[in-house]
Structure formats: structure tokens, C-alpha cells
Amino acid sequence: MTGPQTWGDGIGTEAVRGVLMRTYTDRPRQVATLLDMADRWGQRPHVVQGDVVLTFAQLRHAARVKATELARRVGPGDRVVMIGFNSQDWIINFWATVTVGAVPVLGNAWWSPADVAECLTTVGPALVLADSRASRHLPPGAPTGRWSCDLAADTTPFAPPSGAAACDEDAPAALVFTSGTEGRPKAVVLSHRSLLAGLHMLLHVTKRLPHQVDDNTGDAGLHTGPMFHIGGIQTLLRAIVVGDTLVMPTGKFEPAEVLRLIEQWRIARWSAVPTMVSRVLEHPDRNRRDLSSLRSVTVGGAPVHAEFLAQLRGGLPGVDPRVATGWGLTENGGQATAASGRDTRDRPGSCGRPLPLVEIRIAEADGEILVRSPTQMIGYFGVDTSPIDGQGWLHTGDLGHVDDDGYLWITGRAKDMIIRGGENIAPAAVEQALAALPGVIEAAVFGVPSTDLGEEVMAVVVVEPGRTEQELVDSLRGRIASFAMPSRWRLQHETLPTTHSGKIDKSGLAAQARADLAAAGEKQ
């Protein structure tokens, strides 16, 4: 078992893929060994969703039973694509996959059939596990396996081979997809070191290392984000180490259900994107539910502004001052800085200070934020180029500065990205899908402000006479993810304006569209 003695707070330096980085001296080395920590929590509820309550003991048994099934088809290093929405089966399949030494590839359950096909072509999986909805999007001939997991099976649980815990910590542990600024989503390859170093830092700064928590402690945490995002993996790994109960909604995010779950399960912690929090605060049931158990809210996935924090503290006074946030990206393993509740109160808009193993630099030329830490990715799967330079610095594409007290402030984005309700959307990918449609001459896609989602997708499209917005929407379905579908349109016959270099003046189009929307809002 991975015991408390393997989690220290001593920090040294060592070479990580040829670059000297800060690392913990005493640390776990393989993700699969965390499953053993379920023994510490036994019959405590671990996963709650609707009528399903899965204990830690049941998780450990079910994951190893499923690993026995998987071991007949996959082995160490093989890639297993998982596509499904949050469920106990998703969590069991994840742990079963890492138990046999295979690499889970975390597909986005909202992907279109074209996205799914692109993923399978790119990563060449040995096996595909998909829930009932996602399985409808699989191309013919995909090497599928069974998604469901049998908790009552009496199969002899899989026993990892001796020496498994000593595997290379820099070997791939998971592939998590992110949207680049061009083309289809990219598969970020995260090593065992990447995932465990990120977890270790968060446990260190919150004083929740295994030897610092009591056997009888453990919170109920509400998880409303998708498990296939990097934040979902961080939550899953943390929960099994500290003994938390993960409470998940039964389906699509509904504010009324969230409020009911907080009251029913006495939720103490909730991690969410600002859009979700705002919808809960605005729901009429908020004043009819007992939310006194909720003492900590962590927000991320989109910029967090002072106005939002004031709204949160006013609507959920029990969490003040425990409103935490941070900054990071999938390529960096999810989180590079952390801002405590006091930080968000005293320095609203700041992203906090770097976590213990993280180094941050600001490029002199353009103010781009550079990050270096052992949490960062190995690279993009199947892509030769990387945003990590020869000295190990990850070029994030975000712009910012660090103040005299070491706090990071984001001032803008160098990369062309839309963040809609916590989902990253590459405008270039939507533009490419539009350009492939009959009757579309050219298109520009960009984000415009949304009080609910942070940003929403707007498309300005030059079309041939007779083409309609509804026809474009109908034709795009199945070509792009549902969350990437434009919600605001402007169809025109005149060509789009260009810059002196001949490129579409997208910044000018976006500025005009935002001004028009603001003016329209003022007139209402």
C-alpha cells in the first residue's frame, strides 16, 4: 500500500526529461498505486449519483474485477479510449485501465462523430470503452469493449505483477484532450509524474497529505464538471487519497438538483466553473435550501472577476472567505498557481502565486507567461512540435505579469481561443467546418461576452444567396461538438474585411460585434 511515508513535503531538484526541475524528495511514483489507499476508507461512500452509492471498498474490488476483464485484451502501454459522461462506470473503468498498466485516453463525451473518428485515427487504441450515448458515434470496426462494470461479480480480482509500482514515472499515464488554436483537439500526454506531482502540490498547500488527515475525516464534495477534463482527474485522485465522497448530478447540469444535493449530502466542497455557480445563485430554490454545510467553493475554467466573487459571497455567505481559484492549463497538468480565499478577497482578479514546484517567467518580448514544472506534459500525441522549449519552459499563450509579492495577473490571451462555460473552443476548427459546407464562401468565428457562460460563439459567414442560418446549424451538427456550435450568427453576401497583409480582420469584426451587442443591450 502507498502509505503516508511516501508523501513528504521536502523539495529538491532533479533532472526531468533532461531539464533540472523542483521535485518532492519523497513521492509516489505510479498512479495505479493510489487505488490501494481505498483500503483506508473501507465502507465510506465514495461515489454518489442518483440512487447509486459506491463505497471505497466496492470501488477497489470492482476496479480490479474489471481489470481482470481488460487484461485479456490490453496490457502495459496500450491505449484505451474512454468516452462517456460522469458515472460510477467511468470511474471504475479509469482505475481498471491504470491497474493493468494501460493508458486511459479521455475522450470528450460531447464530441461529434467526426471528432470521435479523428481521435481513434490519431491515437490508435487497443480498446474503446464508450457509454450508450457515445457508442452511437463510434465508427464501424472500432475495437470496442464493455462499458458497464459488474459490482457483484465474484471473479478473482486482477493482481498487478510484482514490480509494477517501480515503473518509469515519466511514462505516459493518461491522454487528455484540449483544444488548440488550430484544427482538431490535441491529445495531451501526461506522465505518472505529471499527475502525481500536481496532486502532491495541492495536498501540500492545503495540508492534506496522507499523514496529515485523520482516518475519520473526509468531506462530501460536489463534482459538476466532466471527469474527462484535467480538473476531473485531479478531483478523482485527490478524493481517493483524502477519503472524500464524490457526489455527482445524474445528468445534465441543473441548478435545482445541485441545490438539493448540497442539502441532502451536506456538501462541504464544490469545484465548478463560474457559469454553474452563477446559475445556482440565481435559482429561486437557493433561499429554500439549507446550504449551511457548504464552506468551500473553488472556481476555475474561465476568468474570475471581482463582480462574480462579490455575487458568490453574497449568495453563499458560508463560504466566505473560502473562495479559491487558480490558473493553469491541461498542458501544465491542470494547475500552476493557486489563490486562497483571502487572496481572492484582497486581490480580486489575481490568479494567486505559483504552487511549490512551479516556476513562472514572463517573456520580455511580448509578456507571454512561461511555466516550468514536473507536472507539464510529455507532449502532444502524434505531433512533433511542442510549446515546450529546450529549457523546459512551456509557452502558454496567455499574457500577464507577476507583481512584487509574487502574484500572477492575466492581462489577455495571445492565442485565439473561446472559453464557453469552461469548455475551450478553437475558432479555427469551427471555421474549417463552416468552410466545408456548400454555399459558404468564408467565415470568421470568435467569442463575444455572455453573462451566463462567460463567452459564447459568434460566426460571421459570407454565404451564397438563399442559404439560411438554420441550414448552417443543421449541416454543422455531427461535424463539431455541441458546445462549439455558434449561438450568434451574422450572414452576409459581401466579403469579410481584411488587414494590410490580406488576412481576415477578425479582431475588427469581433470588436464591432461586441460593440453592437453592448449597444443593443443598453437599448433594452
- In the chain the domains, ranked by start, together with CATH numbers, are 4-152+159-408 (3.40.50.12780), 421-523 (3.30.300.30)
How far apart are the C-alpha atoms of 270 and 246, rounded to whole Å?
A: 10
Backbone φ/ψ region at 52: left (φ over 0), alpha (ψ -120 to 50), beta: beta
How far apart are the C-alpha atoms of 340 and 298, rounded to whole Å?
A: 9
Long-range contacts of 230-234 (CB under 8 A, 24+ apart): 230/176, 230/190, 230/330, 230/333, 230/334, 231/271, 231/300, 231/301, 231/334, 232/86, 233/106, 233/174, 233/176, 233/195, 233/334, 234/198, 234/199, 234/202, 234/334, 234/335
Contact 116, 98 (CB under 8 A): no
Q: What pLDDT does residue 166 have?
A: 53
Q: What pLDDT does residue 172 have?
A: 97
Identify the three-state secondary structure at position 398: strand
Cβ neighbours of residue 246 under 8 Å, at least 6 residues apart?
A: 46, 47, 48, 91, 221, 223, 235, 236, 239
Q: Are strands 418-420 and 423-425 parallel, antiparallel or unpaired?
A: antiparallel
Contact 58, 30 (CB under 8 A): no
Contact 62, 56 (CB under 8 A): no
Of residues 82, 42, 283, 64, the one with CA closest to residue 187 = 82
How far apart are the C-alpha atoms of 43 and 49, rounded to whole Å?
A: 17
Chain-centre distance for alpha carbon 212: 27
How far apart are the C-alpha atoms of 25 and 10, rounded to whole Å?
A: 6
pLDDT averaged per 10 residues, the chain (length 524): 68 95 96 95 96 95 94 96 97 97 96 92 97 95 94 74 66 88 78 98 94 88 93 95 96 92 94 85 91 87 69 80 82 93 83 96 92 98 94 93 94 77 84 89 91 91 93 93 94 83 80 88 57
